[in-house]
Amino acid sequence: MSCPQAIADALSPLPSWQEGAIKTTIIDFVTDVTDPNNVNFVDPDDRIAVFDNDGTLWSEKPCYFQESFILHRQGSYANCFPEELGQETAPLTKEELIFTDTQLNYGITTDQYIQEANGFLNTANHPDFHRPYVELTFQPMVEFLQYLRDNGFQVYICSGGGIDFIRSFAEEAYGIPPQNVIGSAILSKFEIQEGNPVLVRVPLPVLPINNNAGKPVGLERYLGKRPIMAVGNSTGDLQMLQYTDDGQGQDLMMLVHHDDPNREYQYDEGAEDALQEAAQRGWSVISMKDDFIKVFAWE
């Protein structure tokens, strides 16, 4: 990065966000809760922001990327391509996805699973974008995460996706370390294999699946306190947003709206109830078309 560019970025946070109401909402909120002289000041221990992953931090079409990984593990990655997927089978729901992964990827250590997933995400090409999946993170959201950390926030992922699947790439892609990832988990058991202490995946999910009403359960189990910011994109995030919007103190609830058919995808399916409640309760709706200067880093 050139020096003038570095200075410009430092002066203007969130460079891939259009100036406008949404960017102002984010900056005003962060400014409020980090100013010790502001009545809305929040101590760093409580300055917790949670983000959904699929559809919020990266794409989720034509199917969840974890489904692509499952197809790869089954040796049928070709089925991932939309002309076949669209004609033959509907994409898996989050619950189907977790049960399928749980039944498929067991008996190996967590480290082995993570290595497999990381390798897949860095090498297999996405059927529409023809790029590795790790390149399909939303650049404005990556900046958002960094901006929050720069302001003393603890930033967590709270995803319906598999916790180990997300841990396999989240630190590299988002700067979010494994201990800040909450997701659907598989049971595991402790073993010492040839002197190495490891955890082996057992084909049973930890309940509940970390989606819909399971998200606040996961937040409480991992955090023991309510976030002050929650960002999602679908009805699977609705209860997480309701839980955050508890009427105590300053909160920010946001939905990423997929309304950009040219640069990404356009769809409301699976988000209808969340969008409706956002309108009723005044949650912020981020338009990918209007609020993102760029969607992907490589544009």
Give the residue with the Cβ less far from a copy of itself, 75 or 197.
197
Q: Which of 37, 195, 262, 280 binds a copy of itself (CB under 8 A)?
A: 195
Q: How many helices and strands (H and E) does the chain possess?
A: 13, 8
Q: Identify residues 122-181 at the interface with a copy of itself (CB under 8 A).
A: 154, 163-164, 167, 171, 177-179, 181
Closest CB to a copy of itself among 79 and 109? 109
What are phi and psi for residue 187, nearest 5 degrees?
-65, 155
Q: Which stretch binds a copy of itself (CB under 8 A): 15-23, 72-80, 121-129, 222-230?
A: 222-230
- Residue 206 is a binding residue for a copy of itself (CB under 8 A): yes
- Distance between CA 142 and CA 149 in Å, rounded? 11
Beta bridge partner(s), residue 256: 286
Output phi, psi for 78, to 5 deg. -60, -30
d(CA 15, CA 192): 48
Q: Is 151 exposed, middle or buried, given 0-12, 13-18 or 19+ CB atoms closer than 10 A? A: middle
Using CB under 8 A, pick the residue from 92, 142, 217, 293 that binds a copy of itself: 217
Q: Does 249 bind a copy of itself (CB under 8 A)?
A: no
Subset of residues 96 to 125 that bind a copy of itself, contact rule: CB under 8 A: 110
C-alpha to C-alpha distance for 292 and 286, rounded to whole angstroms = 9
Q: What is the rounded distance in angstroms from the CA atom of residue 204 to the CA atom of residue 263?
A: 38
> Is the CB of 15 or the CB of 208 nearer to a copy of itself?
208
Return d(Cα 267, Cα 255) in angstroms, integer: 13
Among residues 64, 153, 243, 283, the one that binds a copy of itself under rule CB under 8 A? 243
Q: Would you say 159 and 54 are in contact if contact means Cβ atoms under 8 Å apart?
A: yes
Residues 6+ apart with CB under 8 A from 138: 57, 58, 59, 256, 288, 292, 295, 296
Which of residues 9 and 191 has its CB atom nearest to a copy of itself in the complex? 191
Q: Which of 35, 19, 53 is nearest to 152 (CA)?
A: 35
CB of 246 to a copy of itself, least distance (A): 6
Our CB check for a copy of itself shows the closer of 45 and 83 to be 45
| Least Å from the CB of residue 180 to a copy of itself | 9
Q: Quick one: 4 or 247, whose CB is closer to a copy of itself?
A: 247
* Binds a copy of itself by CB under 8 A, chosen from 1, 10, 90, 192: 192
Minimal distance, residue 168 CB to a copy of itself, in Å? 10
Which listed residue (32, 96, 135, 245) binds a copy of itself by CB under 8 A? 245
Contacts of 55 (CB under 8 A, 6+ apart): 233, 234, 256, 258
Q: Nearer Cβ to a copy of itself, position 91 or 152?
A: 152
Tokens linked to 110: 């967590």
Where along the sequence are the contacts to a copy of itself (CB under 8 A)? 45, 48, 110, 154, 163-164, 167, 171, 177-179, 181, 185, 187-190, 192, 195-197, 199, 206-208, 213-214, 216-217, 220-225, 239, 242-243, 245-247
